[in-house]
Amino acid sequence: MTQPALSPALMALFVETIGQDTFSAALSKAGLPVEWARPEKYASMDAAQAAQSYARLQSTLRTYYGRGARGILLRIGSNLWDRMIKDAPFSIKAQASLIRGLPKSLRRKPALELLARILGAKRGDITVHTLDLDLLLVDRASPATLDQSDDTPICFVTLGLIRECLYWAVGEEHDIEERACRATGARQCEFKITTGGRS
């Protein structure tokens, strides 16, 4: 099993994406330190510490928002995609430009592989597979699930990232389901993307 890790820079982007008001309210209610609201705090962390903070903050937001947490975390994931591309190094931006230059029907898998490259702390943490006409994104590290346990999947930010990544690539909504989650006891998180043979 892969040890969860997350880039501290990605953690800082996550905090910026949440927004100061939302973040401050959730932090104060959960009794977490106020400095957690400052993205620069995460610059001094290593990848394991950033993963712990990422999981704890998402857990705090799920508790704070209750039933509404899923929608809020999906939106945070969707908004995070744009920030990740905007703040990406040149090599990622070049790959993104190449993907957007492909015929629309060939963009989905390369776009998800780009997302995997950005999110994965190391090569192989996140992989993309073809399932007949559909796609499967497998996250073996899944930092959001670190020390988390639930009856249902909890990787809503990742779901939002996948949704926005695919919309960015082809301009269409997709049916995406987290069919396995480490928080529920699975060995890895699996996201099935139904394309249904769309071109």
SS3 sequence of 27-66: HHHHCCCHHHHCHHHHHHCCHHHHHHHHHHHHHHHHHHHH
Q: Does the residue 120 lie in any domain?
A: yes
pLDDT of residue 35: 76
Q: Is residue 21 part of a domain?
A: yes
Per-residue pLDDT tens digits for 133-190: 899 999 999 999 999 999 999 999 999 999 999 999 999 999 999 999 999 999 999 9
Q: Does some domain include residue 99?
A: yes
Torsion over CA: 10, 95, 134, 120 (sign): negative
Residues of the chain with pLDDT under 70: 1-2, 196-199
Domain count along the chain: 1
In a domain, 131, yes or no: yes
The range of the structural domain enclosing residue 124 comes to 8-194
pLDDT of residue 196: 67
Residue 1 domain-assigned (yes or no): no
pLDDT at 164: 98
pLDDT of amino acid 1: 56
- Asked if residue 2 belongs to a domain, the reply is no
CATH number of the domain bearing residue 68: 3.90.1520.10
